[in-house]
Amino acid sequence: MAVLSDQGAQASRTGRGGTRASAGRGRSSTAAGPRRRGLSLLLNAVSVGFGIALWWGLAAAGFTLPTPSEVVSKAGTLLSDGTLQQDIVASLGRVLAGFALGTALAIPVGFLMGWYGVVRGLVEPWIQFFRTIPPLAIIPLAIVLMGIGETPKIFVIFLAAFLVCVISTFQGVVDVDRTLINAARVLGAGDAGIFLRVVVPASTPFILVGMRVGLGSAWATLVAAELIAAQKGLGFRMQNAQLYYDLPTIFVGLIAIGILGLLMDRVLLLAERKLTGWQERR
């Protein structure tokens, strides 16, 4: 009985030690998160500072570049007369419209292609065909068919976002582990249940990555889309400044596009973390 009592006490101490160790690991993991984020922000700040210093050094060395102070001064001028705000609103509206339409169509098409072999056989050749054609090459056709209003601009951006996102969604559905699907069938789930409870969650990381890449493609296409008789917009302002060799205005447009694209990408990255929290991360 004494032996059993000693063993019980030892097991109790071991259990408490294991619980304390688990709690310690949990606290350590929780504390490590803010530290990693703080280090990442510090590295970001160092990188930005180094980039600005390099830019200033190249301008001072005689390269054909405006200095950061000249660009800031030009941005202040454009802000004071409202030009920059109007351009940002116009370009942001076109990108959001094209990106939203492209994503809204790409996700169901990608799911259908990945889930149904017949749909894949019918649609995939056309997707692959248009993927080889740069969206910029569609501009002349878009002008002829749609005129010179907002529609062709949004259409070109839509095409750029759609083609990237549909492939990513399709690949996500195709790459779902068959073991998960078979296990769900064994447990009595039907096709609808498997699709909603297995395929959609497993494909979500692919969809969000496709959306982030598609967002980059949308912004990359913006400048060319605003070639279509635009009267305002960041791309239009940059192209107009090119005619007068107005480098500070070109840099203001580039930086504005970069900042807006970065902010939108961070929103999608936050959504990715919230929706795929079940994934193991490094």
Q: Which residue has the higher pLDDT, 194 or 58?
A: 58
Statement to judge: residues 100 and 229 lie in one domain: yes
Number of domains observed in the structure of the chain: 2
Query: Do 156 and 22 fall into the same domain?
Result: no
Model confidence pLDDT, tens digit, residues 140-180: 888 888 888 888 899 999 999 999 999 999 988 888 877 87
How much is the pLDDT for 19? 45
In this structure, the answer to whether residues 123 and 27 fall within a common structural domain is no
| Of 19, 35, 65, the domain-final residue | 65
pLDDT tens by residue, 250-275:
999 999 999 999 999 999 888 888 87
7 pLDDT more than 70: no
Query: Do 121 and 246 belong to one domain?
Result: yes
Give the structural domain span for 248.
66-275
Same domain, 162 and 59: no
CB 102, CB 135: distance < 8 Å: no
Give yes or no: residues 35 and 108 share one domain. Answer: no
Is 238 within a domain? yes
Q: Is the pLDDT of residue 14 over 60?
A: no
